[in-house]
Amino acid sequence: MRAEERVIENIRKMLSLSLSACELLQKAVLEKNKMLLEEVSRIEREGDDLRRNTARQIYKGAFLPYLRSNILRLVEDVDDILNTADKAGKYFRKIENLGFLENSIEIERILELNILLCRILSKNFIEFFKNPEKLGEAMIVVRMLEKEADNLKHSILEDLRRKQTDFWDGIFTFNFIESLEEISDVVEDTMDTLQVVVLSL
């Protein structure tokens, strides 16, 4: 396998890990099973290994020099999806009163949107390199879904501010919601970087 192919394969693996992390995060939150979040952290560390390995491949000479910075940025963006999922999981673990989850269709929907976004990216990643038009179409969809996640976050925060809660639970719940929504932001950033890479090839 050529060095370039190894890099692309590593990024594809990282995207697949992102999807697994978001699916596990959903399961952990909906089942209120904080033990599952250990696995999200493990996946995040696996992603770190892949990021370091990919950076080494690029350092050793994969891709033409003018492409390397953008490829590395793409790797870091994908790694950021994993970091953000892990961060959301860490905040969730610290929340003692999980009452805000009762009947929260909006939180469920953000969790679903994150999975959908990672699935779109993971499933079509290789295809995007061959078919930039499909990438353009996917960018529209990702922007649309990201906006929905952003609207949901504002709606959740609007409801939360009317609820009485313990100071620390309030902070951790706020940070959890922010991080949960941030996953969709990072996926959008990843798509932007991917577009620059595809256009430069």
Query: Segment contacting another protein (CB under 8 A): 20-28, 49-57, 154-162, 184-192?
Result: 154-162
Measured from the CB of residue 69, what is the shortest distance to another protein in angstroms?
Answer: 28
Q: How far apart are CA 82 and CA 179, in angstroms?
A: 11
Contact 78, 15 (CB under 8 A): yes
When binding is defined by CB under 8 A, the residue of 152, 183, 191, 194 that contacts another protein is 152
102 binds another protein (CB under 8 A): no
52 binds another protein (CB under 8 A): no
When binding is defined by CB under 8 A, the residue of 2, 60, 102, 144 that contacts another protein is 144
Long-range contacts of 157-161 (CB under 8 A, 24+ apart): 160/100
Residue 91 is encoded by which pair of tokens?
């905040």
Q: How far apart are CA 107 and CA 114, in angstroms?
A: 11
163 binds another protein (CB under 8 A): no
Q: Which 3 state secondary structure label does DSSP give 68?
A: helix
151 binds another protein (CB under 8 A): yes
Query: 108-137: which residues touch another protein (CB under 8 A)?
Result: 108-109, 116, 119-120, 123-124, 134, 137
**Cα 181 off chain centre by:** 9
Measured from the CB of residue 98, what is the shortest distance to another protein in angstroms?
Answer: 20
Total chain residues near another protein (CB under 8 A): 22
145 binds another protein (CB under 8 A): yes
Give the dihedral sign, CA 18/19/21/25: positive
Binding site for another protein (CB under 8 A): 105-106, 108-109, 116, 119-120, 123-124, 134, 137-138, 140-141, 144-145, 148, 151-152, 154-155, 158
